[in-house]
Amino acid sequence: MQARAAGIDNPSPMIGPARLIRAAFDASDMAALAQEILARSPDGVIDAGAAMDLATILLLMHRTDEALQLQTDILQGQRLFSLRSNPDQARVRVLILVTAGDLMANTPIDFLLNDDDFSLTYFFLCPGEDMPRDLPEHDVLITGIAHSSGAEPLLEAVAAAAEGWSRPIVNHPRAVLKTSRHGIADALRGAEGILAPAVALLDRAALSASASRLPEGLDYPVLVRPLDTHAGNDLQKVDRAEDLTRYLDHATTERFYVTQFCDYRGPDGLFRKLRVVLIDGVPFLCHLAIRDHWMIHYLNAGMLEDAEKRTAEATAMATFDAAFAQRHRAAFAEIHRRIGLDYLILDCAESSDGRLLIFEADTGMVVHDMDPVDLFPYKLPQMRRVFSAFQQAVRGRAQTRPA
């Protein structure tokens, strides 16, 4: 298979991540979809955008190495992509800066701006290259590159180049750089009403040497996970030095985050984790997961199977503005002030002493409206509020851009 380039000033159209993620979520046959895309070019040469869609499909099929290699091949000849669904009469041209990587590498903007007012163009940037002085035409620029250790040099380079760009920027790259796990802990340290657990980033040798005496600010139990992992992959609660040594004996990576564990179970013995989006500092609840174990993700919390949990989530959404958001109004405002991002996703909870407990904060988590309406009738109206708020924020910046 060969990808046909369209040129740096001529975007190659693609289906885009959101629609492909939605297809996978709906249990579509992704292999059949890939074959359908390939069949459009019987000569074996497909457009770069279609090839990028194939790379996304490979990621959704967990064929990550193949997907990343395909992305690398595509980006040798094409850097600019548009959505096939872009409306002809869109009023706001949005340019999204992205980079190659897995599904966590970039903010899934096409979930948020699925509206006829917006046309989306993706400009892929690669680490180690000179940043462009001139960008394709746009009204608003969004930094879509999410934080990872590998993306830090690229974000630094984009931040430097951004000083010479004239259009409004949503999520300045300098603020995105604050969203590492240790960066969030550092930024929020000492903030009133916020519990941001201490975090240390250690290599294998340093972690092994400190097993019997953890770095300052940490005490057993702690959470240990490899750098740049998410969704609980290789995450373990470690209660004592012997357990940490045993963990390292089986770990295959060389750098680790060690985070102070906080017991955040409620009076009923259940743990509750909220995903909250801050849009220009205003909090919106995107989901509430409830489980009898500290390691909660929405998919392992049994929300699909438990009507009582869904009722609790519906109540949380209905009362969020007047209850949770009001209790933590000052905390949310301080997070917005210290981090400085226009769009920021928080995984958080309420600590036993009433503070806002922050687990993670970044721009790469998926905020979506894909849950089945029959089971989650309360979610679609809430997610429409989230999308509308983000769309209004982008429209407002387009209206105030320099001439």
Tell which residue, 172, 117, 102, has the closest CA to residue 143. Answer: 172
- Residue pair 16/82 in contact (Cβ under 8 Å)? The answer is no
Note the pLDDT tens digit of each residue in 96-113: 999 999 999 999 999 999
Question: Could you tell me which residues come within 8 angstroms of residue 107 by beta carbon, excluding any fewer than 6 positions away?
Answer: 96, 142, 143, 144, 145, 146, 171, 343, 363, 364
HSE-up of residue 229 (Cα within 13 Å, Cβ side): 20
228: which DSSP letter? T
243 has a pLDDT exceeding 70: yes
Average pLDDT of every residue of the chain: 92
**Is pLDDT larger for residue 305 or for residue 44?**
305
* Burial class of 381 by CB neighbour count within 10 A (0 to 12, 13 to 18, 19+): exposed
> Average pLDDT for residues 220-246, to the nearest whole number?
86
Question: Residue 174 and residue 393: Cα distance in Å, rounded?
Answer: 19
Question: Residue 359 and residue 235: Cα distance in Å, rounded?
Answer: 13
Question: Residue 202 and residue 145: Cα distance in Å, rounded?
Answer: 24
Which of left, alpha, beta for 232 (phi over 0: left; psi -120 to 50: alpha)?
left
6 has a pLDDT exceeding 70: no
Lookup result for tokens 């001439």:
403
7 has a pLDDT exceeding 70: no
Residue 175: pLDDT band with limits 50, 70, 90: very high
Q: In Å, what is the CA distance from 327 to each residue of 193, 194, 323, 352?
A: 10, 12, 6, 14
Please state, for a pLDDT cut of 90, what percent of the chain lies above it: 78
Residue 401: pLDDT band with limits 50, 70, 90: low
Q: CA dihedral in degrees (218, 220, 224, 230; nearest 10)?
A: -80
Please give the pLDDT value at position 366: 87
Please give the pLDDT value at position 227: 84
Question: Residue 130 and residue 140: Cα distance in Å, rounded?
Answer: 22
Note the pLDDT tens digit of each residue in 185-229: 999 999 999 999 999 999 999 989 888 888 888 999 999 998 877
Please give the pLDDT value at position 3: 53
**Pairing of β 194-195 and β 199-203:** unpaired
335 has a pLDDT exceeding 80: yes
- Residue pair 236/261 in contact (Cβ under 8 Å)? The answer is no
Lookup result for tokens 């092994």:
208
Order of strands across the sheet with 199-203? 199-203, 255-260, 222-226, 236-238
Q: Which two tokens stand for residue 232?
A: 């609980």
Please give the pLDDT value at position 45: 81
Question: Residue 263 and residue 351: Cα distance in Å, rounded?
Answer: 8
297 has a pLDDT exceeding 90: no
Question: Could you tell me which residues come within 8 angstroms of residue 195 by beta carbon, excluding any fewer than 6 positions away?
Answer: 262, 351, 353, 355, 356, 357, 358
Partners of 1 in the β-ladder: none
Q: Which helix (H) or strand (E) holds 154?
A: helix 152-162
Going through 137-221 in order, the beta strands assigned E by DSSP cover: 140-143, 169-170, 194-195, 199-203
> Average pLDDT for residues 330-342, to the nearest whole number?
97
Q: Which two tokens stand for residue 33?
A: 């979809």
385 has a pLDDT exceeding 90: yes
Domains of the chain: 7-169 (no CATH), 198-260 (3.30.1490.20), 271-399 (3.30.470)
> Average pLDDT for residues 6-15, to the nearest whole number?
77
Phi first, then psi, for residue 338 (nearest 5°) are -80, -35
Q: Which two tokens stand for residue 215?
A: 């770095």
Residue 42: pLDDT band with limits 50, 70, 90: low
> Which span out of 129-143, 194-208, 342-356 was modeled with the highest average pLDDT?
342-356
